[in-house]
Structure 1
Amino acid sequence: MRKRILALVMSGLIATGTVVSCADQEPTTGGTATAEASASPSVETSIPADRLDKVAPADARAITNPADPKATLVLFTDYQCPYCAQMDTVIQQAKKDYGDDVRILVRNYPLPKHQNAAPAARAVEAAAEQGALEQMAASVFEHQQDWKAANTEDLEDVFVSYAEDLGLDIEKFRADYASDAVRDRVARDLEDSQDLQLPGTPSLILDNQVLELDSVDYGALQEQLDAALNK
């Protein structure tokens, strides 16, 4: 019965043109929230040209970085958001299919309501300093249930264990994880996400267009990418 109710809810969301994601803010009215998901209306939003530096700054982390990209896709992600874990698989498929044509960047959007999202972002950023951004992101998402409710002071050792599994230089990883440079990068990404008024995570921006896509619907992203490449 529970699965049937969930299926009906999801079909209703699709029928009314809404996207389920981790919302930027907790609901402020009407009872107690039973989940962190929010159904927001699907709306197309264009980012003005003078604000594109907040979408894709020159030093943004790249998943793919072809020499002559035909389009740029930017993912704003929260490592504590379950829908971002799903979207990671979609992005990896896009990397495989469009690697020579589409530049794919990833920005941090650690929602303030997720107490461990910012430390997780710092762990991924610290790994990125050793060229292991995607590998650490995959580990963090895979073990999301293990660390998301952990005490914040215990997180460094948790993430260090993932770094050890990846064969990273642990002394450098610890130094980068605690560094002002990494903290500032995560903070800047969050500030840019909020300045752009992105509704939640995951958020995708293709060139200057904010996309409202389901986190497991690769076909919908593929359609948008194909259209961008053929324009």
Structure 2
Amino acid sequence: MSDLHPAVSSRDHISGDTNAPIVLVEYGDYQCPYCGAAYSIVKNIQKRFGKEVCFVFRNFPLSMHPQAQNAAVVAEFAAKHGKFWEAHDALYEKQRELGGPMYSELVKSLGLSEKDLQSALQNDEFEDHIRADIESGNRSGVNGTPAFYINGEKFDSPGGFQDLEPVIEELLRPTR
């Protein structure tokens, strides 16, 4: 792993086994249209490669997106109740509806308290966690979203995140 990229830890949102041959880390912003497009690619990668890929998501809300920070809080609020991935997926699938009404509907659908969510939003309950993700991204060279790392190395491709799947396929070829 790169010295700059922090290792995956229990504070991360992890889908899969961290000992998988491929560990894909995304720094994402729930309101970023490019992250929205990358979401379906990551889902395809997870479906296609299964246990060979571990996916890790870290928050990187950009200030130019007015709902990005609150959406990250909603995801962290859901995570506190063991429902991060459900919230993560819903936030991307309903990206054009981000805002108070959508957040209320989402937490209700997850069986969580709207009142507790409002308290979390007002009290910056998850600010430290989100800030730690942003600082981790900054140290790792993230300068926009989505930013991907494969096995600790920054993923840079002229084709952008659309090249993730073929690159992962190529990396897995020797192990198959």
TM-score bracket for this pair, using the shorter chain length:
0.7 to 0.9
Consecutive aligned runs of 4 or more in structure 1 exceeding 6 Å deviation: none
Cα deviation code 1:174-223 (max 9, x no counterpart): 455555552111111111212222121111100122113534x3xx2222
Q: Is this contact kept in 1: 2:30–2:68, CA < 8 A?
A: yes
Q: Which residue of 67, 87, 98 maps to 2:49?
A: 98
Partner of 1:63: 15
Alignment correspondent of 2:60: 109
Name the counterpart of 1:229. 172
Larger radius of gyration: 1
Q: CA deviation at 1:127?
A: 1.1
Specify which structure has the higher proportion of helix: 2
Correspondent of 2:40 among 80, 83, 89: 89
Secondary structure, counterpart of 2:66 in structure 1:
coil
Conserved 8 A contact 1:125-1:177: no
Tell me by how many angstroms 1:124 deviates.
0.9
Gaps of 5+ in 2: none
Provide TM-score, normalisation by structure 1.
Answer: 0.65
Report the equivalent of 1:159. 103
The alignment's C-alpha RMSD in Å is 2.5
Indicate which of 81, 89, 103 corresponds to 1:130: 81
1:214 is the counterpart of 2:166: no
CA distance in structure 1 between the partners assigned to 2:18 and 2:56 by the alignment: 14
Of 220-229 and 189-198, more deviation after overlay is shown by: 220-229
**CA distance in structure 2 between the aligned counterparts of 1:102 and 1:190, rounded to whole angstroms:** 23
| Aligned partner of residue 134 in structure 2, secondary structure | helix
Using the alignment, how far apart are the partners of 2:36 and 2:172 within structure 1? 26
- Is the strand fraction higher in 1 or 2? 1
How big is each residue's C-alpha offset from its partner over 1:10-66, in whole Å with a ceiling of 9 and x where there is no partner?
A: xxxxxxxxxxxxxxxxxxxxxxxxxxxxxxxxxxxxx733x232x6344211122x2
Highest RCO, 1 vs 2 (Cα 8 Å, sep ≥ 6): 2
